[in-house]
């Protein structure tokens, strides 16, 4: 009796008969087929989950955060009202412009990963993919000051909107390195104050 084995369909058969039963019993064949299919499907699902997990582990941890950030140089235009507001006082307008454009509008497409290092990261789009590109911090900020002032005038007509701005910009463009460095510092602090990225 101990030699008897229960088949998938629930019958008891002797060990010597079991393989013949399996091959001929329609119920057992069906059971076995569906069982094999189920295992195959589970294996597929496990493989898919493993692949997805590998993918997630390879991605930087900030992925969820930067999906919504607009890449550098693709920021939408600011409203004329916003521009008017930030032109007074003129001496603060560039940091305010950087805050509006790169942080409030774009969601923070510039970040400084480490305060004690002279590098800055800019969210760029390359071949449809968003990536953080590391640049020299001081060089980049100097460029950003220039780009911002050019845009204020050429895109928004700041000098026509505000006589104070026009005078300030003229003075600034003719000023020495110390004054220009001060503005660069202000922009650096604006980035540090507004970035959501830590470490
Ligand atoms: Zn059977």
pLDDT tens sequence across 156-168: 999 999 999 999 9
Strand-pairing partners, residue 4, are: 14
Instruction: Point out the domain boundary residue: 21, 39, 58.
Output: 58
Q: In 10 A of CB 66, how many CB atoms?
A: 19
Statement to judge: residues 112 and 24 lie in one domain: no
Statement to judge: residues 93 and 144 lie in one domain: yes
In a domain, 72, yes or no: yes
Instruction: Report the domain count for the chain.
Output: 2
pTM > 0.75: yes or no: no
37 C-alpha to center of ligand 1: Å? 18
Statement to judge: residues 54 and 68 lie in one domain: no
Tell me the pLDDT band of 57, cut-offs 50, 70 and 90. Answer: confident
Statement to judge: residues 31 and 70 lie in one domain: no
187 C-alpha to center of ligand 1: Å? 79
Statement to judge: residues 88 and 15 lie in one domain: no
Residues 6+ apart with CB under 8 A from 83: 152, 156, 158, 161
Strand-pairing partners, residue 131, are: 124
Tell me the pLDDT band of 58, cut-offs 50, 70 and 90. Answer: confident
Exposed e or buried b per residue across 123-140, where buried means at least 16 C-beta atoms within 10 angstroms of its C-beta: bbeeeeebebeebebeeb
In a domain, 199, yes or no: no
For residue 110, the enclosing domain spans 64-194
Interatomic CA distance for residues 148 and 158, integer angstroms: 11
Tokens of 19: 């393989």
Statement to judge: residues 76 and 116 lie in one domain: yes
85 C-alpha to center of ligand 1: Å? 84
Statement to judge: residues 89 and 29 lie in one domain: no
pLDDT at 132 over 70: yes
Statement to judge: residues 25 and 110 lie in one domain: no
pLDDT at 69 over 80: yes
Start-to-end CA span in the chain (Å): 71
Mean pLDDT, the chain, rounded, equals 91
Statement to judge: residues 52 and 69 lie in one domain: no
Interatomic CA distance for residues 33 and 26, integer angstroms: 10
pLDDT on residue 197: 62
pLDDT tens readout for residues 75-109: 999 999 999 999 999 999 999 999 999 999 999 99
Tell me the pLDDT band of 18, cut-offs 50, 70 and 90. Answer: confident
Residues around ligand 1, an ion, CB closer than 5 A: 7, 9, 25, 27-28
In a domain, 78, yes or no: yes
1 C-alpha to center of ligand 1: Å? 18
Statement to judge: residues 71 and 37 lie in one domain: no
Statement to judge: residues 70 and 35 lie in one domain: no
Statement to judge: residues 173 and 98 lie in one domain: yes
């Amino acid at each position: 009796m101990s030699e008897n084995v229960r088949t998938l369909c629930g019958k008891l058969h002797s060990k010597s008969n079991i393989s013949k039963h399996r091959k001929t019993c329609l119920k057992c064949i069906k059971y076995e087929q569906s069982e094999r299919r189920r295992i195959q499907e589970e294996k597929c699902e496990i493989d898919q989950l493993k692949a997805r997990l590998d993918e997630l582990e390879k991605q930087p941890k900030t992925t969820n955060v930067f999906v919504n950030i607009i890449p550098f140089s693709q920021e939408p235009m600011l409203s004329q009202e916003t521009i008017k507001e930030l032109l007074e006082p003129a001496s603060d307008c560039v940091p305010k412009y950087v805050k509006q454009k790169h942080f409030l509008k774009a969601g923070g497409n510039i970040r400084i990963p480490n305060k004690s290092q002279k590098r800055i990261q800019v969210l760029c789009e390359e071949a449809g993919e968003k990536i953080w590109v590391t640049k020299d911090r001081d060089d980049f900020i100097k460029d950003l000051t220039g780009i911002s002032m050019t845009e204020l005038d050429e895109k928004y007509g700041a000098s026509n909107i505000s006589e104070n701005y026009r005078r300030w910009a003229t003075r600034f463009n003719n000023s020495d390195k110390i004054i220009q460095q001060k503005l660069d510092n202000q922009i650096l602090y604006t980035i540090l104050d507004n970035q959501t990225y830590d470490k």
